[in-house]
Amino acid sequence: ALKELLWQWVSESRVDRVVLLAMDGAFLQSGRPDVEHTLVVTGNDYVAEVVAGHPKLLFGASIHPYRKDSIEELDRVVQMGACLIKWLPSAQNIAPDDPRCIPFYERMAHHRIPLLSHTGVEHTLAQFDNALNDPQRLVPALRQGVCVIAAHCGTRMFLHEPSRFKQWVGLAKEHANFYGDLSAFCLPLHGQPLRRILADADLLSKVVYGSDFPTPPMPLWYLPQLGWRKGMALRRILNPFDKALMTMRELGVPEQVFSRAEQLLRIPTAQPCLRTCAT
């Protein structure tokens, strides 16, 4: 039933393509699976199978770089049509600046497949140190020529938490292959970073749209900017992909942000990807 509901939402949405993300487990320093500290696993084969049946879905793979077969698995998912590799370092126990990641980065650069890595404090799958999500740790991947998309641009959810947004800004301006996505920007405390991005042409050229599905958008948080009528109209949108998309549009995000994914993802077909969002 969940798969059918997802398919219905995607089919009816104004979004052209949706990236469905896999989630590899946590691994020990030795390269063996850390079953005790693995909270969620969504396998590459399962996600590839779901994606294969829907023309608007793209396959986002997840591979832990400490795995002994990480290079082989990367080659395999690329052949299966993966458009990106997804990491959540503090949930998977990945130190992106660990020298053991370098061969994996080299192979990613060879395949020209981007890395989508969570940055900032993680709440849903909090397991390991949130310092693993520092954007600065992604510099070795950038130096190896990998296109890196920092999920959430290092922003925070609560006032008492540290924000890594300034680090993201510095890296985005310094590295041509470093980007950020706007997933979770429909949630509290993201208004100021969004205004900063929209006011800076250089930063605006380095962001990609993302929905953060299944996290529900909260357009009423932006009532001061949207006004009551627009805010309530957005709240009444039932399709979660459309609600996130339309909220970002009403907040002034320009069209090129919604279509930039077509330039960055390893899309296996020639079909346009005008408004792609990673789930």
Task: Detail the DSSP E strand segments found in 128-236.
Answer: 148-151, 178-181, 207-208
| Cβ burial, residue 251 (10 Å; 0-12/13-18/19+) | buried
Alpha carbons 158 and 137: distance in angstroms, whole number: 22
- The string of pLDDT tens digits covering residues 170-220 is 999 999 999 999 998 998 888 899 999 999 999 999 999 999 998 889 999
Alpha carbons 44 and 78: distance in angstroms, whole number: 11
Q: Which residue has the tokens 């130190």?
A: 95
Q: List C-alpha distances in Å: 27 to 45, 69, 95, 104, 198.
A: 19, 12, 11, 15, 38
Q: List C-alpha distances in Å: 182 to 7, 119, 158.
A: 23, 12, 17
Q: What is the rounded average pLDDT for all residues in the chain?
A: 92
Q: Which residue has the tokens 């907040």?
A: 251
Query: Model pTM greater than 0.85?
Result: yes
Alpha carbons 172 and 232: distance in angstroms, whole number: 34
Alpha carbons 203 and 179: distance in angstroms, whole number: 9
- The string of pLDDT tens digits covering residues 104-159 is 999 999 999 999 999 987 767 677 888 999 999 999 999 999 999 999 999 987 66
Residue 56 sits at φ, ψ, to 5 deg, of: -100, 0
When pLDDT is averaged across residues 47-61 and rounded to a whole number, the result is: 93
pLDDT tier for residue 274 given thresholds of 50, 70 and 90: very low
How many residues in total does the chain contain? Answer: 279
